[in-house]
Structure 1
């Protein structure tokens, strides 16, 4: 009796893996193997010109990070970017979702209008904002029209990164707004009705009911926001023409990795930097997981 049961179990197991095999092959080829190869490169000095060669250097690439001033600039810019953009876009998404969840007139139109920046190409958005920030662009034109002095928004290191932040908040918040909007519609109306019977104000209902119910979604939004901000590349690349300027003001971790990998052809050190970035993102995610303990519920 045990053998037929064992054969049936084995047959079911093989059938399951056969159905999963396409996904396993794709993930293995395009996710696991590149990760393993990148870790391998981080311990080598790689020569890609002429005959490809690998020279094992141990932890030399990781030790080199300590004396790389551009790495610390990129880390500072990336952390600064994340600390401002993630809370701002999360708060804006909650506010927009709460407004559009009300029974307003033409709310479907506003939902579509607010979501449009998300479906627009990132490169196109950057070019539009570069035109706005240009010395002869829309922003300076408006300042000049009301008698205020104009400014070199793209050339000043103190405001160049801020310009990218504003653009990213404006274009990313609508995506999270849709996620929050779906979560708001899942909150039972009976909770608000019971709170209203108890005499709760609108702010009390929002603070005591809405926000706690949105904690799992907020955890997801913040994690995705952190990952997205730490992977900032295209906006910074287009804004600075790949240099990270002015004066390294828009240099981010991914742009620095790109420069070492494809401009300096230093694949070993670039892979080590990519490994460092992955570790930083994972550590931040773990910390957020500990903060949002309620996310494990339901």
Structure 2
């Protein structure tokens, strides 16, 4: 430890000395104008040096060192002398405990479901604005949601993959027959043809393996199940949170009596301790808790919210939505108040309805705020851990690891099983997934963000 402290002091002094030498030589050899610029830059970096040192010690160094250790077998037995194993930690994350058996029909309809869902999502991301018919837009949105939900619950309902795949095929055939193709650019068909070619190539090479990963492999690999549960949670909680936050912001932006009080009420859950919130909701979801009491009073039977694995992710999503909706509502409210009122006054003169003002003024000018909220909400949802840990008293769900998320997996590997190399590898897989989702969101939103001029 003493050597590390000496090393840090040495590097800090080396940086300061280097900056001073650069300043001294630049004064001698540079022209006066360039010298002033260099002098100002060096002065600025000297002021920022303490922050760089703190960030380097507590942020950047752990990031790079954990990535380095993800290629080592670094556990309790080898803590002092990690063993280099290359990509073995990453391979073990996705390794199945047992081979998964699947019939040809299951593999075919699962693959067809993935293929059709991908087509609708491609249209949803790249070509929704080019579609002029509102019904076709709604069909694309609904079919994308149907495909995603079917993939997430593919083993819960028998023949769900068959029915959903056939519905998607029929709807897409109907769309193509209604001059849907005339509204699309050639690029979309190039993407579709490329996707078809890849699908045929992968299937001929044994794509049922991919289908097994999406449907059955989550029961044979704990990390794949963590990815599945985390993705399910993100897709369930993020859209609902953003929708509720936008609706609350629109209400709070109106001339409402006591709106300052309501702003405070909606924001309080965000600043409240996650432990306190989870304990309160644990009592609400209990067998004899408030929610079951209300259900029995209106004629329904009690629901085992905390004991049935199918309710694990939804219960955690409810807590997260309740906690975060006020925070995002305040951000939306700030964005709404930055929109110039002149746009709405001009729209009223032209006879626009409230919905038209919302569609053509509010949504486009609120797009920078919406983009920020989506990115932040999605990243925050991928890091869900506290609610599960408190709600289920330190366990990843009631049974069968139904609440195992990626951050919980990292925690379990690092602190419980003392397999720090595996935990580091899992953390960087999570980083890669978040980075991928963020890049896709940035690319899809690039042409849809409108800044007020």
Q: 2:340 & 2:319 partners in 1: Cα distance?
A: 35
Sort the Cα spacing of 1:169 and 1:75 in 2 relative to 1 into closer, same or farther, 3 A: same
Does structure 2 retain, via aligned residues, the 8 Å contact 1:195–1:205? yes
Superposed CA RMSD in Å reads: 1.6
Q: 1:213 & 1:14 partners in 2: Cα distance?
A: 40
* Uncovered stretches (5+) of structure 2, i.e. residues with no partner: 1-28, 97-220
Does structure 1 retain, via aligned residues, the 8 Å contact 2:275–2:390? yes
Show the counterpart of 2:323.
171
Sort the Cα spacing of 1:39 and 1:137 in 2 relative to 1 into closer, same or farther, 3 A: same
Show the counterpart of 1:38.
66
* Uncovered stretches (5+) of structure 1, i.e. residues with no partner: none
Residues 4-43 of structure 1 aligned to structure 2 (within 5 Å): 4-43=32-71
Q: 2:416 & 2:358 partners in 1: Cα distance?
A: 51
Q: 2:43 & 2:254 partners in 1: Cα distance?
A: 49
Residue aligned with 2:250, SS = helix
TM-score calculated relative to the size of structure 2:
0.64
Does structure 2 retain, via aligned residues, the 8 Å contact 1:90–1:221? yes
Show the counterpart of 2:333.
181
Show the counterpart of 2:15.
none
TM-score calculated relative to the size of structure 1:
0.96
User: Does residue 273 of the first structure (1) align with residue 301 of the second (2)?
Assistant: no
* Deviations 1:98-144 (CA, angstroms, capped at 9, x unpaired): 00000011111111111111111111110000000011111112222
* Deviations 1:7-26 (CA, angstroms, capped at 9, x unpaired): 33332221010111122112
Show the counterpart of 1:90.
242
Sort the Cα spacing of 1:50 and 1:82 in 2 relative to 1 into closer, same or farther, 3 A: closer
Residue aligned with 2:82, SS = strand
Does structure 2 retain, via aligned residues, the 8 Å contact 1:42–1:271? yes
Sort the Cα spacing of 1:51 and 1:278 in 2 relative to 1 into closer, same or farther, 3 A: closer
Q: 1:280 & 1:36 partners in 2: Cα distance?
A: 18
Q: Quick one: which of 342, 366, 381 aligns to 1:190?
A: 342
Sort the Cα spacing of 1:148 and 1:297 in 2 relative to 1 into closer, same or farther, 3 A: closer
Q: How far off is 1:263 after superposition?
A: 0.9
Show the counterpart of 1:288.
441
Show the counterpart of 1:233.
385
Structure 1 segments (4+ residues) deviating >3 Å: 1-7, 47-51, 294-298
Q: 1:179 & 1:93 partners in 2: Cα distance?
A: 9
Residues 214-253 of structure 1 aligned to structure 2 (within 5 Å): 214-246=366-398, 247-253=400-406
* Deviations 1:211-261 (CA, angstroms, capped at 9, x unpaired): 111111111111111111100011111122232122211111000110011
* Deviations 1:182-201 (CA, angstroms, capped at 9, x unpaired): 11001000000111111110
Sort the Cα spacing of 1:116 and 1:237 in 2 relative to 1 into closer, same or farther, 3 A: same
Does structure 2 retain, via aligned residues, the 8 Å contact 1:242–1:255? no
Show the counterpart of 1:256.
409
Residue aligned with 2:437, SS = helix
Larger radius of gyration: 2
How many residue pairs were aligned? Answer: 298
Does structure 2 retain, via aligned residues, the 8 Å contact 1:227–1:281? yes
Q: Quick one: which of 268, 272, 289 aligns to 1:137?
A: 289
Q: 1:99 & 1:297 partners in 2: Cα distance?
A: 23
Does structure 1 retain, via aligned residues, the 8 Å contact 2:232–2:313? no
Show the counterpart of 2:218.
none
Q: How far off is 1:49 after superposition?
A: 4.7
Residues 51-90 of structure 1 aligned to structure 2 (within 5 Å): 52-67=80-95, 69-90=221-242
Sort the Cα spacing of 1:245 and 1:290 in 2 relative to 1 into closer, same or farther, 3 A: same
Does structure 2 retain, via aligned residues, the 8 Å contact 1:260–1:267? yes
